[in-house]
Structures are given as structure tokens and as C-alpha cells.
Amino acid sequence: MYNISALSNNYNVYMPKMHTLSGIRDVAANNATNPYTSMPSYKSQFSIPSFGINQIRTSLSTREEHKKYDEISSIIDKKTRKDLQVLLKNGKLLNANSNDGTTTLDNLYTIATVKRAQGLDKKNILEETIKAIKHPFIIPQKFGDIPINLQPEIINHERTLGKNISSYDLDVKSSTCPAASIEFDIAHRMPAEFARMVEGLTSEDLCITKKINVNDLSQGLLDIIWMLNEFGTEHKMLDWDTLVVKLRPDRNAIIRARIQNSYKDPDERSLVDVLMQSTFMNVGAQNTYDSLIDKRIPKYNDDDSGLIDIEKNFAEELATGKGKVCVTYQKIDDSGKLIGYECEQSETLSHIQNTLNQGDNVIIGYTYCDNDNNVIGGHEITIIGIETDKKGQKYFICNDTDDGVSEPIKYSVDELLPKIHHAGIPKSVLVGNVEFIEAWKELMQIYKETKIQQEQQIALQNNRLNVLAPAA
């Protein structure tokens, strides 16, 4: 899920110029307690393109490449060797769309030959990475259970650090849909970068290092630096145009990863998923995320689960190295009620279509409501295409990391479009189409000021109750 407690503030980073709809669209869910039954969904026959693969190479051409391929093949099982062959034939294995120009093969070889973090098995890492690149739709957000015999040691360790947790706290449902969607997007479009990220996160450093062109991000240099400091992201400038960031999972992610290394059940996250999703959650949550309990310390609202839209967008930009603008489409009033839209539905659709046309996916956050249009939940999924049937009906082709289906799913455009609260849209798609109202820095300031005001009001109310309370 994504965090919806801040949505009622209705502060928009960017607002489309189109006329605001005056009426309230009825987007009540058929089953308001379950976001996944609110819209009819179908397995898609959509042909999934391999985005980001330029100058496709499908055969090993040097002695070094053959050596690397053979080394990897000697470690993985028979089924994964077939998957590796598929990656070679479809161009993903020799794809070099990574941050440092290395290929998928290069990074898999590093995993195979360089020492991994303690408690992580390179065979498992290789097999899980290859499977995810071959078919990214298998990436789930479902947490694995912690075996009962391991829980006391973990609980006692956390208590020594001042966290009073119990077995109940370790049994979590998962609020990592924003991070899982980012992980899917990278595996789907940038196989070499996905493998490079896995290599870094499973190394002894447990860290991803990325060089980012400042001009590729959505904000100016001063705002970018402010955001990095605000979010506590380790960074330095190589020059005026090049930024180096280090992205790390929370300190408890390795505990979850080691457990999944040895105790993974079907449909649960792999050790790779754990480290990737924990990293993106931690980056978005200002380094306050805790993988053991799937909670974070809220900085801009009162909810300690999930990420708000701005936080997800920040994590997505750093993870992909490409500027995405967080566009808010729904109007939510202070009571948490959907009261309208910031633009016509056709404009929202054009933003999504134009983003897809340039080879990007679109991670969206949608809301689901009760019969009175009160927002009761939210979820993040990824739109990867649009399909039109013989009757002219349009469908979004989507990936949902929490639907239990390891295939693309299609939703009716008419059903999903009015539910979209926000989306990450490339700035190039929006130039000339939106009015830029506020920068991220200003929005963060507003969130913090609002939270301070709320805390002051609560403190004042408590003081009044103490004054009115009868003496003991």
C-alpha cells in the first residue's frame, strides 16, 4: 500500500492546467475492503516489449564472455541454466543499459566470483536474479514468515536497541508496494542495471552506488541537494553536472534476507526482493524504515506504514536515475473524501500514453473508496501498456506485485482511470501541458508545518483535558 493519511491535505506538486471537474465521480469499489476486487481484471495476452535494449546482441563474441557464461552456468541449477539461455537469446544477458555501462552478464559474473554478504548464498542470488530478469512479473511484495525458533533471538536483539517488539510485530502483511513496483520497473526495462543493483546490495558493502546526471532529474540543483539532505541520502558532487548517491537498505534488511535465503516459501519475496524493496523503502522513508516490522518513523504525517507519493517519487528518481514528476490527479478534501479531479480524464490518459510511447512504465497510486466516496485505502501498481480490443474497449496492461498473479493483468481504462490518485510522469511529457505550482522543497515544508500544527493542537487538547479532569 501507499500511505494515504497525507492525501487529505491535497497539496499538489504539479497540477494539470485542464479544467477541474465540478462533480464527484463515483469510484466506489464493489468490495470496499479489498482493492483488488474493485475492478474486473484479466490475464493479459499483451506482448511485453523488452524496453531499454539497444543494439541487441544475442551471442557471446569474446573468450571473456564465454568464460563468464560458463562460470555462472556451473553454479546455477539446470532450470536456471535454461533461463540463462533465454536471456542470451532475447538480448537481455548482453544488455548494457546500466549505470556504469556493465552488462547483465558482467554483473552476474561478479556475483558468482566475488564474496557475498555473510549469510547469503551466491547460488540463490544468481538463480533469483536470473528468474526475475527473465520474467519480472514473479516479483512479489509478500513478506516471508520468520521461523518460530529464530524469533526469540531477533526479539531480544531488538530490545537491546530499545525496540520493544513481539512475535506479533514480526508477522507483517507488507506495505512495500511502491518499492516493489520500482523493483519490477527496473527488472522489466533495465536488466543490466537490475543485476548491478543486486550485485551491490548482496555484496559485503550492502550498498548501491549510482552516478546521476543532475540534468536528468526533475528538480534544479539546489532543490536536489536540499532533498538529499532532507531525506538523509549519502551523496557527493563529482562536478556541477554529476551526482553520486549511495542507496542502502535498513540495517534489519539483512536479517530478513538471510531468512529468505534459507526459508523462502512459494510466493514469498526472495532474498533479492527483500534487499531491493528495503532499500527503496528506506530511501523514501528518510532512513527510518525497519524491515523486521515493516514500519517507518513518519516525518510528514502520522502514519508509520507505506510511503506517501512524494517519498515514492524521490526513491524512484534515485533508483532509476531519471526524473519523474509526481502528478496528483484526484482532489481529496480534509476529511479524506474524493471530491473531484485536477484535470479531465482524457488529459490523465494522454500523460500515461505519452510516457509509454517513450519507452517508460508508469507507476501509479490508486485509491479505493466506500459508497460515499471516502478514501479507505490505496495501492501502487505499474502500467506497462495499453491494449484496445476488437470492440474498441481500451485496457491498461499492468503489473501488480500483490495480486498473487505472476503475469501481466489488464484493467478497463474506464474503471481504473478515475481511481488514479497520482503517477510518476517524466517531465518531458508534461512540458507545456502542466502548470508547475510548487517544488518538492516547498511541499515538504508544508507537510512538516502541517504536522507541527497538528501536534500542537493535540497537545493543547490534552492540556485542556488535564485542566478539566477532577483531582484524584
DSSP string, 316-348: HHHHHSS-EEEEE-EEE-TTSBEEEESS-HHHH
Grid cell for residue 148: 518460530
Contact (CB, 8 A) for 38 and 30: yes
Please report, for the chain, how many H helices and E strands are present, in that order.
16, 14
* DSSP code, position 113: H
Helix, strand, or coil here: 16?
Answer: strand
pLDDT score at 434: 61
Cα 313 → chain centroid: 9
Residues 6+ apart with CB under 8 A from 149: none
pLDDT score at 18: 32
Residue with cell 501509479: 364
Stated as kind and residue range, the H or E segment containing 386 is strand 375-388
Three-state SS string over 139-183 comes to CCCCCCCCCHHHHHHHHHHHHHCCCCCCHHHHCCCCCCHHHHHHH
Burial (0-12, 13-18, 19+ Cβ within 10 Å), 435: exposed
Grid cell for residue 60: 557471446
What pairing do the DSSP bridges indicate for beta strands 242-247 and 234-237?
antiparallel
Residue 456 sits at φ, ψ, to 5 deg, of -65, -40
Handedness of CA 350, 351, 354, 359 (dihedral sign): negative
Residue 458 sits at φ, ψ, to 5 deg, of -65, -45
Residues 6+ apart with CB under 8 A from 323: 216, 217, 218, 219, 317, 426, 427
Grid cell for residue 63: 573468450
DSSP track, 359-375:
T--EEEEEEEE-TT-BE
Residue 156 sits at φ, ψ, to 5 deg, of -65, -40
Region for 392 from its dihedrals, namely left if φ exceeds 0, alpha if ψ lies in -120 to 50, beta otherwise: left
* C-alpha closest to that of 27 among 337, 327, 307: 337
pLDDT score at 36: 41
What does the domain layout of the chain look like in residue ranges? 7-50+318-451, 63-284
- Per-residue confidence of the chain (472 residues) as pLDDT tens digits? 555 444 433 333 443 433 222 222 222 233 333 444 445 666 665 544 444 445 789 999 999 999 999 999 999 999 999 999 999 999 999 999 999 999 999 999 999 999 999 999 999 999 999 999 999 999 999 999 999 999 999 999 889 888 899 999 999 989 999 999 999 999 999 999 999 999 999 999 999 999 999 999 888 888 889 899 999 999 999 999 999 999 999 999 999 999 999 999 999 999 999 999 999 999 999 999 999 999 999 887 778 999 988 899 999 999 999 988 889 999 999 899 999 999 999 999 999 999 999 999 999 999 999 999 999 999 999 999 999 999 999 999 999 999 999 999 999 999 999 999 999 999 888 877 665 544 556 666 676 677 677 777 777 877 776 666 665 4
Grid cell for residue 284: 523514501
Report the C-alpha gap between 373 and 402 in whole angstroms: 24
Stated as kind and residue range, the H or E segment containing 193 is helix 191-202
Cα 176 → chain centroid: 7
